[in-house]
């Protein structure tokens, strides 16, 4: 299987879907002629032209709204946000229009839109460019939220998201764009709402999404080598819809869980997963559920401090040892 | 804000209480410290005081009703505060039942007021809080393993599944086979119409639970010694004669035995200890419990710091505690925290017996009556003597045979040379 980058996997998904369906159109700042701020769309404008890759002014509320309107009328827009942090100026469009219109129209209108872009800290771009809003958006019924951790998942999930008839918030990570994974050439789809066991284990479940999954895998290797603890790593992949069964089955097997995320702890995904486990698998728990998340403060600008703010393998290991 | 008044937890083992009598009635104004009601706990009858002022606006629990700790008993309203819909009439009203609506009565048969299910969070049957994971609890319930005495290997001493499995494995390898008692529990049934069924009081229930737990979970062993009581009888006669001449109260044999037990426990500190799961606690002070028979059971009031009290202090204190016990006026601090117990059935003419240990203590001294017996004296002649038999029940997890024997020997020495306890 060829090794390709996360960025290339996303591009392949876009390329395949543009070819497959005339209604797919990529819209965003510098997605066409400049080949994308992070080069995800590199070469696509040259291949597919102005009608399929549309450059926009710096006005997220405007072009996200335009995409939502286009989706209501039948197109399948893929909106690129240079950073998910910029989604906040388009929040009314995303939450009130994309999220609510299917319900408020009694099912007459659908919004088959994908809004994608990086949603991560750790790159020294400051608090206003480092948001991880998966918990905010997953809190809105009507929106789907996806966060792939690998190139393989990125491709399969993006293709499924484009074909989905509801708005999908697709959260990537700039730190992963250049990382390589094995990705098959042939077409494949990964359903939304299907978590993935990235590492099978029997002593504790590490539950994560996005880049935190890789942190957990690193921690799991160390735990096995140094502490004789066999950790299972559950990658949520999609946060909403959420694959409750895979999470619960893992905890029913290992009887312990640490939930890891790069988002903030307060009302975070970790809080949601923790509540889920204690509601539905309380009697299977042999230890309290622990959480590891970003330190609860705006993204710190100082690079050494920002590095400490985000969860790393060491913090995961410490939490695991604390409850074991 | 209306203030709900709940069944208070008035003793460490109390899980429910019986509301004996409402001292305040609906409409009465209440000051902080006023007695609202009398409550019978598993140990005593106690007065329930108000912590807030206001007017007693509603009463949810009638006299004689037994409810769980924490359950709402009544509602207190502040001055000029109106009754709100959310607080009115929601609870089981036994004190003031509104006339049922006729229509409703026709369509819906009157249901008995639903008592809320007892909420048991972490307290076990014996009322001891046990720190265990949910999984450990589930597995323990499935396997029939008692969590109370298990050592916990999880963080902070939490009992986890492995601890339960290990205990179960040990149990099943230790006990030959009869672990599987599928036979119905041995419960008595009335055999004829003239048999009387006496409902359990809170105290009876506690005695049943605690002593069953003690006898089934504590590995008891027993030691016994025949002691010359003559010197003690003589000393008592002397002291009582002296006291009588100046109008002071007399000492009982039991007073001397209590004093001797307290002194012996200070001389053999390893006997004044408790099993604590993964450790043994050796108590610095001797808090001596003394079994007192009361109308419907027994209580064990505690002489605190008995090691530092004189015979006359012990004598007057135990008299006071016993009378309070009989009138159910003991306060929790007067029956909690004992470190060992003396049980004396001498006044009934019992010559010897072995009592069940009063957990979490690990020793109980059982004494019978002083009896006249023929004894062989130092010269080898048979002479009349006065003897008392001491029984000692020990928790083998804490007290080994040698320690128990040392304690008993010390007790014997003190009784046979009673002047030693006065120095």
pLDDT in tens, A155-210: 999 999 999 999 999 999 999 999 999 999 999 999 999 999 999 999 999 999 99
Domain boundary among A182, A205, A233: A182
Does A284 sit within 8 Å of B155, measured CB to CB? no
Residue of B122, B135, B136 to mutate, testing the A interface (most A Cβ within 10 Å of its Cβ): B135
Q: Which residues of B touch A323 (CB under 8 A)?
A: 155
| pLDDT level of residue B182 (50, 70, 90 thresholds) | very low
**A–B CB contacts, 8 A cutoff, strictly below:** 28
The total domain count for chain A is 2
- The torsion angles phi and psi of A153, rounded to 5 degrees, stand at -65, -35
Query: Residue A47: is its pLDDT beyond 90?
Result: yes
pLDDT in tens, A64-96: 999 999 999 999 999 999 999 999 999 999 999
How many other β-carbons are positioned within 10 Å of the β-carbon of residue B409?
Answer: 15
Structure tokens at B222: 């027993």
DSSP calls for B27-83: T-EE-TT-EEEEEE-SS-EEEEEPSS-EEEEEE-S-TT-EEETT-EEEEEE-TTPPP
Domain that holds residue A79: 3-182
pLDDT in tens, A227-261: 999 999 999 999 999 999 999 999 999 999 999 99
**Alpha-helix runs per DSSP H in chain A:** 6-20, 44-48, 60-72, 91, 101-104, 134-138, 151-163, 211-227, 244-254, 269-280, 303-309, 313-323
B256 in Cβ contact with B236 (< 8 Å): yes
| pLDDT level of residue B81 (50, 70, 90 thresholds) | confident
Does A286 sit within 8 Å of B154, measured CB to CB? yes
Specify whether A257 is located in the same domain as A215. yes
Q: How far is A272 from chain B (nearest CA, A)?
A: 20
User: Residue B360: is the preceding peptide bond cis (ω within 30°)?
Assistant: yes
**What angle separates helix A151-163 from helix A6-20, to the nearest 10 degrees?**
30
Specify whether A311 is located in the same domain as A200. yes
Active site residues of A: 60, 129
Specify whether A125 is located in the same domain as A248. no
pLDDT in tens, B385-401: 999 999 999 999 999 99
pLDDT of residue B338: 93
Does A284 sit within 8 Å of B134, measured CB to CB? yes
Structural domain boundaries in chain B:
3-107, 120-174, 218-422
Average pLDDT over chain A, rounded to whole?
A: 97
pLDDT of residue B171: 79
Q: Which CATH class is domain B3-107?
A: mainly beta
pLDDT in tens, A49-72: 999 999 999 999 999 999 999 999
Residue of B121, B122, B132, B134 to mutate, testing the A interface (most A Cβ within 10 Å of its Cβ): B134
Q: Is residue A252 part of a domain?
A: yes
Does A323 sit within 8 Å of B135, measured CB to CB? no
B235-251 mean pLDDT: 91
Does A285 sit within 8 Å of B133, measured CB to CB? yes
B176-180 mean pLDDT: 48
Closest CA to B23 of B71, B53, B63, B57: B63
Residue percentage of chain A with pLDDT more than 70: 100
| pLDDT level of residue B200 (50, 70, 90 thresholds) | confident
pLDDT of residue B82: 67
pLDDT in tens, B26-59: 888 888 888 999 988 877 888 888 888 888 988 8
Does B137 sit within 8 Å of A286, measured CB to CB? no
Q: How far is B148 from chain A (nearest CA, A)?
A: 17
pLDDT of residue A40: 98
Domain boundary among A160, A182, A204: A182
Sheet holding B35-40, edge to edge: B45-49, B35-40, B16-22, B66-68
Specify whether A172 is located in the same domain as A205. no
Q: Is residue A191 part of a domain?
A: no
pLDDT of residue A55: 98
Q: Is residue A188 part of a domain?
A: no
Q: How far is A206 from chain B (nearest CA, A)?
A: 18
Residue percentage of chain B with pLDDT more than 90: 44
Does B161 sit within 8 Å of A283, measured CB to CB? no
Q: What is the CATH number of the domain that holds A253?
A: 3.40.50.920
Residue of A248, A252, A287, A288 to mutate, testing the B interface (most B Cβ within 10 Å of its Cβ): A287
> A195 pairs with which residues across the strands?
none
pLDDT of residue A30: 97
Q: Is residue A187 part of a domain?
A: no
pLDDT in tens, B16-29: 888 888 999 888 88
Q: How far is A322 from chain B (nearest CA, A)?
A: 7
Architecture in CATH of B218-422: 2-Layer Sandwich (3.30)
pLDDT of residue B129: 73
B301-312 mean pLDDT: 93
Query: Residue A322: is its pLDDT beyond 60?
Result: yes
Specify whether A62 is located in the same domain as A104. yes
A239 in Cβ contact with A147 (< 8 Å): yes
Interface of A with B (CB under 8 A): 255, 282-287, 322-324
CATH code, B120-174: 4.10.320.10
pLDDT of residue B195: 87
B366-380 mean pLDDT: 92
Burial B259-271 (b: 16+ CB within 10 A, else e): bbbbbbbbbbebb
Does B133 sit within 8 Å of A287, measured CB to CB? yes
Average pLDDT over chain B, rounded to whole?
A: 84
Q: Which residues of A touch B135 (CB under 8 A)?
A: 255, 283-286
pLDDT in tens, B213-237: 899 999 999 999 999 999 999 999 9
Q: Which residues of B touch A287 (CB under 8 A)?
A: 133, 154-155, 158, 160
Q: What is the CATH number of the domain that holds A139?
A: 3.40.50.970
Q: Which residues of B touch A255 (CB under 8 A)?
A: 135, 161
B380-388 mean pLDDT: 93
Specify whether A117 is located in the same domain as A228. no
Residue percentage of chain B with pLDDT more than 70: 86
CA distance A313 to A317: 6
pLDDT of residue B123: 42
- The 3-state DSSP class for residue B212 equals helix
> B395 pairs with which residues across the strands?
B220
| pLDDT level of residue B176 (50, 70, 90 thresholds) | low
pLDDT of residue B286: 95
Specify whether A32 is located in the same domain as A173. yes
Q: Which residues of A touch B121 (CB under 8 A)?
A: none
Specify whether A48 is located in the same domain as A165. yes
pLDDT of residue B42: 79
Domain boundary among A128, A148, A182: A182
| pLDDT level of residue B374 (50, 70, 90 thresholds) | very high
């Amino acid at each position: 299987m060829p090794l390709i980058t996360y960025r290339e996997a996303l591009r392949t998904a876009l390329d395949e879907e543009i070819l497959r369906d005339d209604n797919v159109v990529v819209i965003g700042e510098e997605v066409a002629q400049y080949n994308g701020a992070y080069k995800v769309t590199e070469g696509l404008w040259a291949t597919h032209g102005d009608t399929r890759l549309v450059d926009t002014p710096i006005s997220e509320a405007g072009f996200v709204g335009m995409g939502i309107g286009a989706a209501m009328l039948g197109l399948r827009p893929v909106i690129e946000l240079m950073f998910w942090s910029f989604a906040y100026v388009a929040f009314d469009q995303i939450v009130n229009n994309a999220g609510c219109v299917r319900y408020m129209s009694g099912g007459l209108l659908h919004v088959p839109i994908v809004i994608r872009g990086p949603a991560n800290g750790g790159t020294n771009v400051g608090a206003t460019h480092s948001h991880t809003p998966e918990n905010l958006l997953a809190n809105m019924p009507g929106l789907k939220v996806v966060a792939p951790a690998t190139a393989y998942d990125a491709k399969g999930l993006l293709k499924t998201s484009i074909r989905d008839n509801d708005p999908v918030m697709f959260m990537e990570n700039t730190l992963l764009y250049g990382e390589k994974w094995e990705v098959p050439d042939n077409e494949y789809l990964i359903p939304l709402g299907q978590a993935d066991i990235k590492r099978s284990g029997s002593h504790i479940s590490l539950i994560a999404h996005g880049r935190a999954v890789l942190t957990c895998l690193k921690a799991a290797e160390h735990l096995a080598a140094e502490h004789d603890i066999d950790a299972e790593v559950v990658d949520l992949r999609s946060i909403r819809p959420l694959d409750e069964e895979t999470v619960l089955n893992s905890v029913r097997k290992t009887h312990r869980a640490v939930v890891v995320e790069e988002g903030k702890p307060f009302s975070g995904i970790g809080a949601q997963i923790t509540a889920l486990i204690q509601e539905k698998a309380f009697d299977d728990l042999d230890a309290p559920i622990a959480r590891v998340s970003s330190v609860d403060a705006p993204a710190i600008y100082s690079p050494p401090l920002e590095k400490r703010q985000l969860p790393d393998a060491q913090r995961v290991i410490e939490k695991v040892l604390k409850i074991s | 804000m209306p203030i709900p008044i709940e069944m208070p937890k008035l003793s460490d083992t109390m899980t429910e209480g019986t509301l004996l009598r409402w001292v305040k009635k609906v409409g009465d104004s209440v000051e902080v410290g006023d007695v609202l009601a009398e409550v019978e706990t598993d140990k005593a009858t106690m007065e329930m005081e108000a912590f807030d002022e206001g007017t007693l606006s509603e009463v949810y629990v009638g006299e004689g009703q037994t409810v769980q700790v924490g359950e709402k008993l009544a509602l207190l309203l502040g001055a000029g505060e109106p009754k709100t819909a959310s607080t009115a009439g929601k609870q089981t009203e036994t004190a003031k039942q509104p006339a049922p609506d006729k229509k409703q009565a026709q369509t819906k048969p009157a249901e008995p007021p639903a008592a809320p299910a007892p909420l048991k969070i972490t307290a076990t049957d014996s009322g001891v809080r046990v720190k265990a994971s949910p999984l450990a609890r589930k597995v323990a319930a499935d396997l029939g393993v008692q969590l109370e005495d298990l050592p916990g290997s999880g963080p902070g001493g939490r009992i986890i599944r492995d601890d339960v499995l290990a205990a179960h494995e040990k149990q099943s390898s230790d006990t030959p086979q009869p672990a599987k008692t599928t036979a119905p529990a041995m419960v008595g049934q009335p055999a004829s119409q003239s048999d009387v069924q006496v409902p359990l009081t809170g105290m009876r229930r506690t005695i049943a639970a605690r002593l069953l737990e003690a006898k089934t979970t504590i590995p008891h062993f027993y030691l016994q010694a025949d002691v010359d009581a003559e010197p003690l009888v003589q000393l008592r006669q002397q002291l009582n004669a002296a006291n009588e001449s100046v109008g002071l109260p007399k000492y009982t044999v039991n007073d001397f035995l209590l004093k001797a037990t307290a002194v012996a426990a200070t001389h053999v500190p390893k006997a004044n200890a408790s099993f604590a799961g993964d450790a043994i606690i050796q108590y610095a002070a001797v808090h001596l419990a003394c079994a007192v028979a009361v109308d419907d059971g027994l209580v064990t009031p505690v002489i605190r710091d008995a090691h530092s009290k004189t015979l006359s202090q012990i004598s007057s204190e135990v008299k006071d505690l016993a009378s309070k016990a009989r009138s159910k006026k003991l306060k929790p601090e007067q029956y909690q925290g004992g470190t060992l117990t003396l049980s004396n059935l001498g006044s009934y003419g019992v010559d010897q017996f072995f009592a069940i240990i009063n957990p979490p203590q690990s020793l109980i001294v059982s004494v019978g009556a002083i009896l006249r017996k023929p004894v062989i004296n130092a010269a080898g002649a048979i002479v009349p003597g006065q003897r008392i038999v001491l029984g000692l029940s020990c928790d083998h997890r804490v007290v080994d045979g040698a320690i128990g024997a040392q304690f008993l020997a010390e007790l014997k020495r003190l009784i046979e040379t009673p002047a030693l306890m006065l120095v």
